Structure 1
Amino acid sequence: MDLNLREAILSNIASNNQDQLEATIVDAVQSGEEKMLPGLGVLFELIWEHADEQDKHHMLEALEQGVKQATAR
């Protein structure tokens, strides 16, 4: 069986509105379950691909700060 995880994730969220997408993200982050990481990766990939350079810079700043805080624990 050939499973394309990216396509499966996109298919599952294809009809979601902003509130549903936010709920998906919040649930995935709050649950802390490893199985949610691929889905978050696909969502981040979509965000990154559609972001302009300024948005990417802001995301990278936020990511850098998050990594520093997470590793300081």
Structure 2
Amino acid sequence: MARISAESDKHGDLVKLGMSIRVRRKALGLSQEALADAAEVDRAHMGKIERGERNVTFLNILRIAVAIRCKPSELLQDAGL
């Protein structure tokens, strides 16, 4: 089974997930720094997640979802995943 990394994300799924996070964050009027603080994720790492440059962990998806008041499944659904 092939490993999925930011470099091997040929379908752009990480970018789609990052965009889903960014859209919800902006809809709440949160800065990237405020979201990172609320989700307990480093701000620079949050930027990479939103740009699809990092293969975000499941636990970080959970933390981000709580911080932007949605279910993790909603983030994935919004991303078309």
TM-score (norm 1): 0.31
Which protein has the larger Cα radius of gyration, Structure 1 or Structure 2?
Answer: 1
Task: Name the structure, 1 or 2, with higher relative contact order (CA <8 Å, separation 6+).
Answer: 2
Greater share of helix residues, 1 or 2? 1
